[in-house]
């Protein structure tokens, strides 16, 4: 998609669903909870690129205990509409996670397919513990049995953009979550 015309770019931002203030408040609370639960433990926050990069940047600054940051990128392949598939890790962690309590920091859980495969792979590496924290959850769309340990916002089945989330690579830099519409 070539979306260099500012007017049509803006016109596709249908409405703000979650404001900057709401995001900030929810993330501050999540950071304080992580401080309380993981103090004194080796903690690794793992973000799955690209969508979760903004959430991780803000969440990590809402955490005040020592922690490490790691990035992964994954490509998943599914046959038809089946819920099983293969995941290939195209960017991997540098840490040996058997030494860490790991929190997967995700932008959105939609069908849940990719994240369930990534979580399975990380579980195989025997972390001290593994939890999933997602900014957004679209439970209506789930096709696999995957539940986040914590989700900051449950949203209806709409396509959303901003705060890391894209449409054809655009809109990741919006400071809020908005509903997308082509009109
Ligand atoms: P799934 O849970 O395996 O279906 O895939 C989730 C991924 O699809 C997320 O990490 C996003 O990158 C992308 N995704 C799902 N829903 C949306 C949306 O509403 N807007 C933008 N990206 C989305
Ligand atoms: Mg993602």
Kindly report, residue by residue over 63-109, the tens digit of the pLDDT.
999 999 999 998 877 666 566 677 789 999 999 999 999 999 999 99
Q: Verify whether residue 110 is a known catalytic residue.
A: yes
Q: Is the pTM of this model over 0.85?
A: yes
The reply to whether ligand 1 has any atom less than 6 angstroms from the CB of 113 is yes
Give the mean model confidence (pLDDT) for residues 123-131.
98
Mean pLDDT computed over every residue of the chain: 93
Name the pLDDT band for 34 (thresholds 50, 70, 90).
very high
Find residue 165's DSSP bridge partners.
162
With a 6 Å cutoff on the Cβ, whether 137 touches ligand 1 is no
Q: Is 40 left (phi over 0), alpha (psi -120 to 50) or beta?
A: left
Residue with tokens 């249908």: 14
Query: Residue 41: what pLDDT?
Result: 98
Structure confidence at residue 4 (pLDDT) = 78
Residue among 17, 50, 81, 110 whose CB has most ligand 1 atoms within 8 A, to mutate: 110
Backbone dihedral angles phi then psi of residue 179, each to the nearest 5 degrees: -85, 140
If you measure from the C-alpha of residue 165 to the centroid of ligand 2, how many angstroms do you get, rounded to a whole number? 8
Asked if CATH classification 3.40.50.2020 holds for the domain at 42-175, the reply, yes or no, is yes
Percent of the chain topping pLDDT 70: 95
Q: Are 157 and 179 in contact (CB under 8 A)?
A: no
Of 110, 137, 145, 149, the active-site residue reads 110
Instruction: Look at residue 119 and give its three-state secondary structure.
Output: helix
Q: Shortest CA distance to 121 belongs to which of 87, 146, 155?
A: 87
Question: In angstroms, what is the span from residue 150 Cα to ligand 1's centroid?
Answer: 17
Residue 3 confidence (pLDDT) = 75
Residue range 142-155: mean pLDDT, rounded = 95
Tokens matching residue 168: 């054809």
Instruction: Give the number of the ligand closest to the Cα of residue 112.
Output: 1
Mutate which of 108, 114, 116, 170 for ligand 1 pocket (most atoms within 8 A of beta carbon): 108
Confidence check: pLDDT of 2 > 80? no
Higher pLDDT, 32 or 83: 32
Is-contact 122 101, C-beta < 8 A?
A: no
Give the pLDDT confidence score for residue 85 in this predicted structure: 73
Q: Indicate the pLDDT class of residue 5, thresholds 50, 70 and 90.
A: confident
What average pLDDT score do residues 109-115 get?
A: 92
């Amino acid at each position: 998609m070539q979306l260099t015309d500012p007017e049509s770019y803006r016109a596709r931002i249908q409405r703000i669903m979650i404001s900057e203030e709401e995001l900030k408040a929810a993330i501050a609370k999540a950071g304080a909870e992580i401080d309380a639960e993981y103090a004194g433990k080796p903690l690794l926050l793992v973000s799955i690129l690209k969508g979760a990069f903004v959430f991780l940047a803000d969440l990590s600054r809402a955490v005040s205990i020592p922690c490490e940051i790691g990035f992964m990128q994954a490509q998943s392949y599914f046959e038809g509409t089946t819920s099983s598939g293969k995941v290939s890790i195209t960017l991997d962690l540098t840490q040996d996670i058997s030494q860490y309590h790991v929190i997967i920091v995700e932008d959105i859980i939609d069908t849940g397919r990719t994240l369930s495969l990534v979580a399975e792979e990380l579980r195989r590496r025997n972390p001290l513990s593994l939890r999933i924290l997602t900014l957004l959850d679209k439970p209506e769309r789930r096709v696999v049995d995957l539940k986040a340990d914590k989700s900051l916002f449950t949203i209806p089945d709409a396509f959303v953009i901003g705060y890391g989330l894209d449409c054809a690579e655009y809109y990741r830099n919006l400071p809020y979550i908005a509903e997308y519409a082509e009109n």
